[in-house]
Each structure stands twice: as C-alpha cells, then as structure tokens.
Structure 1
Amino acid sequence: MRHTLFCLLLISLPTWAGVYTYIDADGNRVFTDKPRSSTYERVDLPTTNSMSGQANTPPTPVKMEEPTADVVRYQVLRILVPEPDATIRDGAGNLIVTADSEPGLITGHSYRLLLDGQAVGEPGRSPVFPLQNIDRGTHQLAIEIIDAQGRTLERTPSQPFHVIRMSLAQKRNANPCKKDDYGVRPECPIKDKPPEEDDGPLSILPFF
C-alpha cells in the first residue's frame, strides 16, 4: 500500500521538485515536497525516461518538374489555295493545295493534308499538295502541323471547296467529236465512231 502511494505521489509531484519523507505521529510514512524540519529525509528519485523536445520537421516537398513545352509556337497556319468556298472547274478533278505558316516549319515538324477528314498522302516539309481525280461535289480541306511522333500541334479550321467536272456528254456538246477525235479524246470513244461512208459498187470499178 505504501509503495502504491509512493508511486502515485511521484507521478503527481512536479518533476523539478524535491521529495522528502518522514514518520508522522501515527507511525505512517508521509511523502511531501515541502520539508519543515531536519527530521525530513530527502528521497532520491530515479531518472525517468524523457522524450526530446525537438519538434518534428516536416519533409521537404519535392518540386515536380512540369513538362517542357515546345519553345516555338506557330502564330499562323492557313490555306492559301484554294480560298474558302472556292469553286474548282477542272475536267480531271485536279487541284493543287498550298499552305503557309508563321514562323516557318521548324526541324522535326511536318505538314499533313486532310481531305474530308482523312489524311491524304504522306506528311512532308513541303506546304504544296497536288490532288488528282477529286470527285465532283463539295469537299472539306484542312492542314495540320505534326511532330516526329505524329502528334498534331496545329490545325486549320476545315474549309469547303466545290469541284465541277464536266461530263463526257457535256464535253462532247461543247466540242463536237470529229472523225479523227474518236479513240483520242475521252469524250469521243471509238465505239461511238460513225461507220465509214460506202459509195456503193461503182467505187470498186476500174477507171475506164
């Protein structure tokens, strides 16, 4: 019992105060931190465990590097030919598309032509794209700038153009077929060549 009281007293007393003990009039041992006479004996307390008062230092945050952006940005990318909503009159449906960019194409980048949303031909450094045999009707054009991995960096808005191709009948009406045109001009097929004129039996008689 006395040992328990002693432990409780040690816990309740300030860690910096001295502890003294004496025997009271009833023969009980008493512990106190305030000695009142020379009969009080000092109690040597054992060293207690203690924790360092140093505050926990939070870990230094690691700075994440942001992805490096392309140094060069294209201010302008446009289609020079044909103009938006242009009408192309070509019997063979041929067209040369020309583009331009500011600044000019940098190393590792390429131009790519899109016709009706589909890539046409291989990307290249040249901004000139020849197209052949385009169907009559309305089509959409766009130009892209891509990097070496094929990622799109810039793209023009899609712009319409219209192709008018004369039919063979229209060409034949505009320029009627002559005898020597059959088998030569597409609108003058050899099967439509009229038969040769026959002068009759007299044409084979010898001249008298």
Structure 2
Amino acid sequence: MRPLLAGLLLALALPATAQIYKYTDANGNTVFTNQPPDGAASEKVELPPTNAIQAQPPSAPASDPASTELEAIYQVLELIDIPDAEALRANNGTFSVSVRLEPRLQPSHSLRLRLDGQPYGQAVNVPRLQVVNVDRGEHSLAVDVLAGTKVVQRSAPVSFTVQRVNTSSPALRPPPAPTPRPSN
C-alpha cells in the first residue's frame, strides 16, 4: 500500500517540474503552456527555484488539564464549611461552601465548583459559592481556579453526604381536615 501511495504522490508532483513554454497566438495573446506549439516560435521560460520548507518536528498534543498535574499557583486551595463526619442537612438541597486560598485570588482568575467530577455553576471571583438543589446521597465537591476557561489549579475533592427530608413521608403529611357532621 505504501509503495502505491508513494508512486501516486510522485506522479502528481511530475507536472510541477515540467518545462514551460511561452508564445504569442494568432490573436496576439501571450500563452504559457507545458508543450511547445506546432508551427509557432516559442521560447523556454526559466523559472526560479521553488521554495523549500523544512519539515517541523511534530509538537506535543495539547494536554487535557484533568489528566495532568496542574501548576500550583496557590499554596493553599481547599473547600471548607463542608461536614465530613456527618450528613449535611439541606432539605431543599441548597447550601454554601467557602474556599480557602493563599495567596488571595488573582484578578485574572475565577473559581468554579466541580460536583461529582463535572463543572458546576458559573465562574465567580468570590470565595463563597452556593450549591443549589443537590440530590440526597453521597457526592464529591472540588473547586477549580480558572484563567478564562482554562483550569489552572484544582483542589482535592471532598466527599460528603446530603440528607434531605422525604416530603412524601406519611409522617410529614398534614392531618386531614375534620368532616362536618350533619345536624339532625
């Protein structure tokens, strides 16, 4: 297969090295061609050498920030205010977390949460972030430091459990309204 491909590429390159002829046709137009005309005076056109470009070594592919170590810009980057020994009680699944950063957040950086390994919410420049309507159960939460849309640093994930009240529980239903008795 490779010899066939190499032969085809060479065949395509041959016309690029052919001789060029110049002549004037019967209407007085200048014509350039790769074959000398019959019965007309023509001259060979000498072309300057073609440009040559050296092959560049392939560059390393762009790496995925999630799969490589990110450069540590902040000495301390961690989520705080998340209970780890007990379940987080949030009946509507909404709660806030704080981010501890040292040094302070740079003006060109922003913070975005990562809930269960997926980006969560909008990037903001304040160290207090809100999580809204999280299902009950076990979750992990981390914070990304972004420069534009690029992740420049990520905190270690913190595991936690959300406990929500089951509103369909019979114990939480209001008692039925008393029915009026007919008077005799």
TM-score range (shorter-chain normalised) is 0.5 to 0.7
Q: 1:85 to 1:140 in 2, by over 3 A?
A: farther
Q: 1:176 to 1:122 in 2, by over 3 A?
A: closer
**Cα root mean square deviation, aligned:** 2.2
Structure with the bigger RCO (C-alpha within 8 Å, sep 6+) is 2
Aligned counterpart, 1:177: 174
Q: Residue by residue, what CA displacement relative to the aligned partner does 1:77-118 show, whole Å, maximum 9, x if unpaired?
A: 011121445511122111111111100001211111111111
CA distance in 2, matches of 1:128, 1:119: 16
**Residues 85 and 162 of structure 1 are in contact (CA less than 8 Å); yes or no, is this contact kept in structure 2?**
no
Give 3-state SS (helix, strand or coil) of 2:87's partner. Answer: strand
CA distance in 2, matches of 1:109, 1:86: 33
Amino acid aligned to 1:177 = P
Aligned counterpart, 2:133: 133
Aligned counterpart, 1:166: 165
Aligned counterpart, 1:144: 144
Amino acid aligned to 1:124 = V
* Correspondence 1:36-185 to 2 at 5 A: 73-84=73-84, 86-148=86-148, 150-170=149-169, 173=171, 177-178=174-175
**Residues 85 and 159 of structure 1 are in contact (CA less than 8 Å); yes or no, is this contact kept in structure 2?**
no
**Residues 114 and 142 of structure 1 are in contact (CA less than 8 Å); yes or no, is this contact kept in structure 2?**
yes
Give 3-state SS (helix, strand or coil) of 1:129's partner. Answer: strand
Q: CA deviation at 1:162?
A: 0.1
Amino acid aligned to 2:110 = S
CA distance in 1, matches of 2:77, 2:183: 75
Name whichever structure is richer in strand by fraction: 2
Q: Identity across aligned pairs (percent)? A: 27
- TM-score w.r.t. the length of structure 1 is 0.49
**Residues 144 and 155 of structure 1 are in contact (CA less than 8 Å); yes or no, is this contact kept in structure 2?**
yes
CA distance in 2, matches of 1:169, 1:77: 40
Q: 1:73 to 1:200 in 2, by over 3 A?
A: closer
Q: Residue by residue, what CA displacement relative to the aligned partner does 1:94-148 show, whole Å, maximum 9, x if unpaired?
A: 1111111100001211111111111111111012111122101000100011112
Amino acid aligned to 1:199 = R
CA distance in 1, matches of 2:106, 2:166: 44
CA distance in 2, matches of 1:168, 1:139: 21
Q: Kindly name which structure, 1 or 2, has the bigger radius of gyration based on alpha carbons.
A: 1
**Residues 141 and 159 of structure 1 are in contact (CA less than 8 Å); yes or no, is this contact kept in structure 2?**
yes
CA distance in 1, matches of 2:100, 2:124: 13
